[in-house]
Amino acid sequence: DPGEHNQALMELGALVCLPDRPLCGSCPLSGQCASFQKGGPVFAATLPPKRRETKLESRIEFLADHSPEGLLFVRDPHSRFLKDQWMLPARISISGQILTEHWRGAPGKQLGSVRHTITRHAIEAVLLPASPRVRIPGETLTARFSLAQGRKRAASSLMQKILSILE
């Protein structure tokens, strides 16, 4: 599962591969690690400190479009986030600039929200109900799945957090 693999690598970096004092002796990947082969903690001490990157404030508005056939999902090979993955239709903006827009119109009142971080993006993700005024552009690849099927197809932890609002 790609999501679990990503999560495991992030936890490894947060708990074992620490920048100022790596715990190489307890790392399951030390045999394949270039830093370990160059001296592990001794080599890490010679590296300059990483520069802190500025967090980008991002907002993703996901749309919950229910019908008897299921919940609407889209797959967008051009999206900045969740590229080519099944997700709910979204309007994605960074610092107020819209980058991706899978739907147009005025949705209903917010159903819920979550905070999430992807690399340097501090994301506020909200879930909005579809209304008759909302339309999905015809060129967007779409499919309808039950909530359970959608959970299986949506690989990202952000999408899993959003889908949990519907449960």
**30-63 pLDDT, tens digit each:** 888 888 888 888 887 787 777 777 778 899 999 9
Query: What span, in angstroms and rounded, lies between the C-alpha atoms of 21 and 43?
Result: 10
- Note the Cα 64 to chain centre separation in Å: 17
Q: Which tens digit of pLDDT belongs to each residue from 8-36? A: 888 888 888 877 778 888 888 888 888 88
Q: Which of 164, 160, 143 is nearest to 76 (CA)?
A: 143
DSSP for residue 163? H
Q: The pTM is what?
A: 0.68
Instruction: Report the mean per-residue pLDDT for the chain.
Output: 86
